[in-house]
Structure formats: C-alpha cells, structure tokens
Amino acid sequence: MDRILLDMHTHSSYSPDAEDSAEAMCLKAAELGMSVYALTDHCDVNFWEEAPSPDTVDAMMYGAGKYALSSITEQTELRERFRGRLDIIVGIELGQPMQNTEKAELIVNDPRLDFIIGSHHMNKGVDDFYYLDYGKMSDDEIQSLLKDCFEQTLEMCRSADIDVLGHLTYPLRYICGEYGRQVDISGYEEMIREIFRTLISRGKGIEINTSGLRQKYGRTFPDFEILKLYRELGGEILTVGSDAHRTSDLGKGIPEGIELARAAGFEKITYFKRHEPYFLKL
C-alpha cells in the first residue's frame, strides 16, 4: 500500500453529509501511514440552529452548533488515544463565517482547535451551490453568481479568523462538472489576486482540494493556473486535502496534489498545530 503523506481536509459522520465515524477515519489514516492527519468536520455557522422544517433546503446541515462541537470533543479524545500511532490535527471546516459572525467567533476561540479551514459554500441569501439548477440559468446569471461568490470570499479572507481558504472555485464542481456549463473566470483574476494578497498579508494560506479529481470536474480546487498565481504572488502556506467524506476516499488525490504543488513552484506543504504553520519538505 502506498504511503500517503498527510490529508488536511476530511469529514467524519459528525458532518451530516459524511458516512464513517471519526474513529474509523483515524484508523484508516493510520493504516495509510500518514505523518499528520486532520479531521475537519463541517461547521456552517449560518446553519447553527436546527432546521425550521424537515422540508427546508439543506435541512441536514442545520444544527451545526451541536454536531461541530461534538466533533471537536471526540477529536480531542482521539488525539490522545492515537498518540504515537497518528498525529491528529483537531480541525473544523468553518462555512460562511461572515453570515453568523457571533457563532463563528465562538468556534474560532475554542482552545482545542489546531486548524480552521474557511469555506464559502453558498452566497448570502442563496442556497448552497450544490442545490442550484445551473441548467435553468443564463450565462449572465451564472457570472453574477460567481461574482458574488468571489466578493464574499474576499470579505471572509479579510475578516474571518481562519488558517487557510478552502476549495477556491468550489462552484465549478457543479457548474462545469455536474451541469457541463463552460464558464470563463478570467474576468475575476484581479479579485482572486486580491484574495491571495489578503491571505498572504495576514499570514494565512490556501488549500489544494483534490476532491475534483475523483468527480466529473476532473481538476483540483483551485486548478494549476490559479495555484501558480498564488505562488507567484508570494504564497507559501499550502495544505493538501482530499475532502473525503468516507474512509474509501481518504488520501485520494493527495499524491497528485503534491505533484501539482511541486509543478507550481512549492518546495513544502503545510500542516497546523495551535494555528501555527509547520512545513514538510516535498
């Protein structure tokens, strides 16, 4: 079995859209021989309370205030149980922190956390990108959606207390991958540059999210050209994560992601402890 160096973006069954237990995910990570492993269960703070109705769109993601904190508690216990076998990084994927800043602050101040991925899964007042029907949208509507996405992502990068930005270009998983719509995002290059400049100035980083490699999209989030832009602007903090939601996907695409990092000019990749970056040479 090939050794997987690390995986910095994964989900256990504490995430409502994931399958396997936190313990099962850690056992698989140890089996793969990882140097470090991060569990980053969902905490979409705009879904902090329970769903108003079972018929609510994205109802399963509501109640983050309970399941995210439960995940952090079990991760802390697992870190001790696996000590000497697996170096567990206690993490969370903080979704839409600007849409509920009070609860976001509660999470980021949790002293048990090592690592926070900041992610933007949905524009304010709009359903998750997963639920939208891009087949019914005009090109202009899709471009407007993307513009709002990058603007709100930039706001998060300016203000939220995160360690890395998760899966930049995430909407393309659905727009291009699932719906086959071809979109040109070159018009957002300056906004993406500003996102990167902001993160770099704050000592924050980005991730290579390899989930797109095993999906219809067929590319990482972000892809090589955007990753190279981050490096050219001086970006150094870079994590690599599979975004696995089950043990069978753990570590998938990590070797390819590392090769992509090398090709973009990176000589090391990052993991975090107590929100401090540590580097592994490639």
Average pLDDT, stretch 239-252?
A: 98
* Residues pairing with 239 in the sheet: 207
pLDDT band at 2 (very low <50, low <70, confident <90, very high): low
Average pLDDT, stretch 245-260?
A: 97
Calpha distance 267→51 (Å, rounded): 45
The CA angle 229-233-235, to the nearest 5 degrees, is: 90
* Residues pairing with 117 in the sheet: 93, 164
* pTM for this model (two decimals): 0.97
Could you tell me if 94 and 162 are in contact, meaning their C-beta atoms sit under 8 angstroms apart?
A: yes
3-state secondary structure 162-193: CCEECCCCCCHHHHHHHCCCCCCCHHHHHHHH
Q: Residue holding tokens 């996907």?
A: 249
Q: Is residue 207 part of a domain?
A: yes
Average pLDDT, stretch 227-256?
A: 98
Q: Is residue 1 part of a domain?
A: no
User: Above pLDDT 70, what percent of the chain?
Assistant: 99
pLDDT tens string 113-159: 999 999 999 999 999 999 999 999 999 999 999 999 999 999 999 99
> Does residue 57 have a pLDDT over 90?
no
pLDDT band at 3 (very low <50, low <70, confident <90, very high): confident
User: Above pLDDT 90, what percent of the chain?
Assistant: 94
Q: Is residue 263 part of a domain?
A: yes
> Does residue 27 have a pLDDT over 90?
yes
> Does residue 1 have a pLDDT over 70?
no
pLDDT tens string 160-183: 999 999 999 999 999 999 999 999
> Does residue 60 have a pLDDT over 60?
yes
> Does residue 102 have a pLDDT over 80?
yes
Furthest-apart CA pair in the chain: how many Å?
Answer: 54
Q: Is the peptide bond before 222 cis (omega within 30 degrees of 0)?
A: yes
Q: How many domains does the chain have?
A: 1
Q: Is residue 134 part of a domain?
A: yes
Q: 12: domain range?
A: 6-281
Task: Report the CATH number that the domain containing residue 265 is assigned in CATH.
Answer: 3.20.20.140
> Does residue 223 have a pLDDT over 60?
yes
pLDDT tens string 198-213: 999 999 999 999 999 9
pLDDT tens string 262-271: 999 999 999 9
Q: What does the mean pLDDT of the chain come to?
A: 96
